[in-house]
Structure 1
């Protein structure tokens, strides 16, 4: 589950911006190339981080997500991609397209924007492996500034944007990188997959909510 989907699921339970931010925070930490050591001094933020991990477990084990991911992998391999990039695109690509579908359904909500506005102010509450407090704070603020300037999550509504983003994300991973000249395969897949993900989104989130309930997570309001 990508960060905007996390925010949507969290907002169903509370409009507290620190809670919603916490539900996205591990994704932002990963995007910054950091490793989170601890969150201290803010209960909603801490609970949101814990909810993020519960949501990821529920999402990644949802049968429909597994099916979408596997279908994408098989399709991309038939088109000529190796198993590594095909598997990575099947996983991350479905997540990004799902974010895009949610944007088309409800727009980028006030609650999401409020959470993002809180992000620069929580730097003093975060500790990262291998960095002192000042270094961690600076890296976090830099990440949130890049996010504020990036055309996301709105860009995920466009399959071409998603395809370009996937190629960029995987470029630094030798075993997962899309070989030069094979980028059109990713674009073609994203264009085909976007309506498939959109059609399955409601049923997928029903499965996620059922798995969250089984894990003891608070139900939607």
Structure 2
């Protein structure tokens, strides 16, 4: 009798825990580009930096890329995919972003992506671009966390970093971004709530290479179509 009662109590407790996890899981995508609350900070982020690159209104901190796995360092690679030159291809599984070139190559960058269950995939375009962009929470994010600041000005501590490419479908901002990060150790990881993050120096490089209107394909499991 006692064993049956104990088992029943365990099942009830697990049911409650699972319910809480489902609520948290449903809420997490709403914080698409907010990072710090979702991650464990490193002990000494400053150890990642080796200098700066002149930029306005802030200099871009340069990362010691020797700390990165070589596959996440910016490099030109061979490319034989079907996409037209000028297309951005994000491979969620490989944690890589490629900008297709006209000569059978692509510029390849390492990226950080959304955690399991929160990575968006699909086709979009660059609807607008921002330099040291401001960050604002969505209405849904504020409803979930009323203490969020309503505006965080662009700067070194801004979660969008030095540049942002805003993804649109038609005329609608879909609230997903390709942007810089002040957490270089997160490149190659699956930690964010959906946005694609790059080293600040890499997003600045990509920003100069792509115009508004650029086609963006975000793939997962080798596919970008749902």
Decide: shared fold, TM above 0.5: no
- State the TM-score, normalized to the length of structure 2: 0.28
The structure with more strand, counted as a fraction of residues = 2
Which of 1 and 2 has greater Rg?
Answer: 2
- State the TM-score, normalized to the length of structure 1: 0.28
The structure with more helix, counted as a fraction of residues = 1
